[in-house]
Structure 1
Amino acid sequence: MLYRSVFPGDLLAQLERLQRGMRAAPELSPSIRGLARGGFPAINVSAGPQSTEIHVFAPGMNPADIELHLEKGVLTIQGERKAEAPAGDEKAAVHIDERFSGRFRRVLTLPEDADPDGVVARYRDGVLHISVSRKQASQPRRIDIQ
């Protein structure tokens, strides 16, 4: 006996493809801003026994246009990327503009053992690297048994 689908083009297979596409959709973003992943600028945060390291990816920005504030364990990164007008002819039209411009603000809660006096920030090659050291009292240490 041959099995024959009642639905032309196997409707169940089409529904399954559609479902897979919908599950993958939140991971995709048509914008360079990466809104589906958290906004501009993109941030990587890692923590080690000595410090918390934050990398803020803001290529093409002037470090003077980025502000850092630390208050009560909350680090705020804010600034503005200015839009670049096309050079040359005044009649030139921009057809595609995927680069984010405008004000931005990212807020991170630091670990409780973060040392507010041990924050160092450096901007190089479009990446702002913020290192927040941990308080000495919270550092792991070996205790000798007597």
Structure 2
Amino acid sequence: MGTLVRNGQGNLTERPTQSWSPLNALFGFDPLQGVMRGWDYGFEVSRTENGYDVEVPVPGFNSSNVEVMLKDGILTVDAKSERRTFSRSLSMPEDVDPEKITATVVDGMLKISLERHPAAQPKRIAVK
């Protein structure tokens, strides 16, 4: 399993000049979005054999404070507490099966597993 996108806490002075991967556009990543909002809760997306794993740090939040939604190919994470809120969105590839998504919060980390639709198998058609 290899990491496709990593949005970590880095030196803020390096962000504007950093070279961004073309994969960032695939997943709708805006490198300065977290800096502009004052909180940098980034996504880490990994492709697995059957789908994608997404990890989002959510320190101070628990499962009752976090909402995950997939709509029109956009994965959205919203978290709310008495002191702060945040919302992040991520474009997902079209092969994600919306019926096979799980999400858990463990030790301040939101872990989302998204399965891909099974690949269409070619169908052999008998010629008469």
Q: TM-score, normalised by structure 2?
A: 0.62
Structure 2 counterpart of 1:135, which letter?
Answer: H
Structure 2 counterpart of 1:111, which letter?
Answer: P
Which structure has greater helix proportion? 1
Which structure has greater strand proportion? 2
Q: TM-score, normalised by structure 1?
A: 0.55
Residue 130 of structure 1 and its aligned partner are, at CA, apart by 0.1
**Percent pairwise identity:** 33
Q: Alpha carbons of 1:66 and 1:47: their partners in 2 closer, same or farther (altered >3 Å)?
A: same
Correspondence list, 1:25-104, <5 A = 25-27=13-15, 35=35, 39-83=39-83, 102-104=84-86
Larger radius of gyration: 1
Residue ranges of structure 1 left out of the alignment (5+ in a row) = 1-23, 29-33, 84-101, 140-146
Q: CA RMSD in A?
A: 2.6
SS in 2 for 1:132: strand
Q: Alpha carbons of 1:39 and 1:112: their partners in 2 closer, same or farther (altered >3 Å)?
A: farther
| Equivalent residue, structure 2, for 1:13 | none
Distance 1:71 1:39 in 2: 24
Residue ranges of structure 2 left out of the alignment (5+ in a row) = 1-11, 17-33, 122-128
| Equivalent residue, structure 1, for 2:118 | 136
- Which of 98, 103, 111 aligns to 2:93? It is 111
Render the CA deviation track for 1:51-102: whole Å, top value 9, x for unaligned. 110001012212111111111211111122332xxxxxxxxxxxxxxxxxx2
Residue 49 of structure 1 and its aligned partner are, at CA, apart by 3.1
